[in-house]
């Protein structure tokens, strides 16, 4: 796609969408290219993204917007990788973000254990949702920034890589994401879909599995919104020649028993060692099966690769290849504080958003992209919804290097924990008990 000559005015483009009209292909090409070059000002793009949030886009508009963002920068070709003279099958995974979502860490090595290349270009956390790169940077020596040549070499040698996207990959998205975050337009489904898919299409993978979170700790609060986002991204992938499938997964309560960078790394290593919380294992295996199927590997047993150590072997090689020491002790916070059950009964609710905000305030996350994070900060969970608890029993342990943060973290947890007397009505469906599947729906092209 070539850059359209300047035949538009930003105000006219804004007015078109403000008034409920559809943007032409030429207008979309122009506004994305002009914004990337700095011709369209931030305040003008902010107005346009708000108009998109309020009035939406049709499928053709979203597809063109995504293609324009891909065209704003470089393209990779991970699908053309070869090992021992044969083309490697490639598949990527993306999560829309949640609380305690450490699935990328065990998932990439697990799928790579079956000879599939797994390139995962990930990001850092902002707000209450954790970032994969922040988690891995808790490992001493590990580095996120890799050149394209180094990334491709690691895929050939190890089979799995988690790295930061280079500045040349969909640069329009980098500018737009930062703008959306400070203008209240992050939740616009067309912009979420195009943001995610532009980077994945530019990466050049041949298949993609999406983990679309739904619930209080996710950007998509309702199943209908999550389904719409999933269908939009699946369609965008198909239109670009990327085999794409999505799972809608529950984010009403935190995933696993930890939220925080080093804490989540330790939990991911437990999964790779054949243990770990049941919900983390369930989702890791569900996504692994989808990824292997998308890559054309239909006779694999990912559970066996966790049990026999093959996935752990790939993890150790992946971490070492990026300068990390897989045997080094992980950072530990200097201070801890315990939150106890307020009464005896059933833990009916442990709200993901409240836990995520509390972990963020303890230092596990950042308010601005420039802010540092504490590697050891976060929250350990000692009970799950559906568990029987006793008054005074530890429910959560808060970890931080800055004890003055405990007060604000506790404020975030006000109303996030609910214990009901055993046998009381209304205790069902308030969280995700252990006997309820984390996978809610599967979305794919017919």
Tokens of 399: 């970890």
H/E element, 396: strand 394-400
**The two structure tokens encoding residue 397:** 């342990």
Q: What is the spatial order of strands in the sheet that 345-350 belongs to?
A: 388-389, 345-350, 417-420
Three-class SS of residue 129? strand
What the block records as the tokens of 188 is: 């616009």
User: By the 8 A CB rule, do 52 and 183 touch?
Assistant: no
Q: Cα 261 to chain center, whole Å? A: 14
Strands 207-214 and 439-444: unpaired
Order of strands across the sheet with 258-259?
258-259, 378-381, 394-400, 335-340
- CB atoms under 10 Å from CB of 309, counted, come to 15
Contact 173, 153 (CB under 8 A): no
Compute CA distances 246 → 55, 120, 262, 290, 300, whole Å: 25, 16, 28, 9, 20
Enzyme catalytic residues: 94, 173, 180, 195, 199
Indicate the angle between helix axes 10-18 and 42-55, nearest 10 degrees.
20
Q: How far is CA 176 from the centre of its chain?
A: 18
Q: Where are the alpha helices (DSSP H) in 72-214?
A: 104-112, 132-136, 148-157, 171-183, 189-203
Distances (CA, A) of 167 to 72, 148, 288: 11, 11, 29
């Amino acid at each position: 796609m070539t850059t359209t000559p300047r035949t538009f005015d930003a105000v006219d483009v804004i007015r078109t969408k403000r008034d409920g009209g559809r943007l032409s292909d030429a207008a979309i090409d122009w506004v994305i290219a002009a914004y990337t070059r700095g011709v369209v000002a931030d305040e003008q793009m902010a107005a346009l993204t708000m108009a998109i949030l309020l009035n939406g886009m049709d499928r053709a508009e979203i597809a063109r917007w995504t293609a324009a963002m891909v065209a704003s920068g470089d393209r990779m070709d991970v699908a053309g990788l070869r090992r021992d003279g044969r083309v490697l099958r490639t598949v990527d995974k993306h999560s829309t973000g949640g609380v305690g979502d450490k699935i990328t860490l065990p998932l990439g090595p697990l799928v790579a254990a079956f000879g599939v290349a797994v390139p995962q270009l990930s990001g850092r956390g902002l707000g209450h949702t954790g970032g994969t790169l922040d988690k891995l940077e808790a490992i001493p020596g590990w580095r996120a920034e890799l050149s394209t040549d180094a990334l491709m070499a690691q895929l050939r040698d190890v089979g799995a890589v988690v790295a930061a996207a280079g500045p040349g990959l969909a640069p329009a998205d980098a500018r737009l994401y930062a703008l959306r975050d400070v203008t209240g337009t992050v939740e616009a489904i067309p912009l979420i879909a195009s943001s995610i898919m532009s980077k994945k299409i530019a990466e050049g993978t041949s298949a993609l599995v999406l983990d679309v979170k739904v619930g209080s700790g996710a950007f998509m609060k309702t199943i209908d919104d999550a389904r719409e986002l999933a269908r939009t991204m699946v369609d965008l992938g198909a239109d670009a020649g990327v085999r794409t499938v999505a799972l809608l997964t529950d984010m009403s309560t935190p995933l696993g028993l930890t939220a925080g960078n080093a804490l989540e790394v330790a939990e991911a290593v437990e999964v790779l060692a054949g243990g770990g919380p049941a919900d983390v294992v369930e989702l890791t295996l569900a996504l692994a099966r989808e990824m292997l199927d998308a890559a054309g590997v239909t006779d694999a047993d990912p559970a066996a690769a966790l049990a026999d150590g093959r996935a752990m072997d790939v993890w150790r090689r992946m971490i070492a290849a990026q300068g990390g020491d897989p045997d080094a002790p992980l950072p530990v916070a200097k201070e801890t504080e315990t939150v106890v059950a307020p009464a005896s009964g059933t833990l009916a609710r442990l709200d993901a958003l409240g836990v995520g905000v509390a972990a963020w305030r303890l230092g596990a996350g950042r308010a601005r992209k420039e802010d540092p994070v504490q590697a050891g900060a976060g929250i350990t969970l000692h009970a799950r919804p559906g568990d029987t608890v006793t008054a005074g029993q530890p429910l959560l342990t808060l970890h931080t290097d800055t004890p003055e943060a405990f007060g604000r973290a506790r404020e975030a947890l006000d109303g996030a924990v609910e214990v009901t007397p055993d046998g009381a009505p209304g205790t069902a469906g308030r969280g995700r008990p252990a006997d309820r599947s984390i996978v809610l729906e599967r979305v794919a092209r017919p």
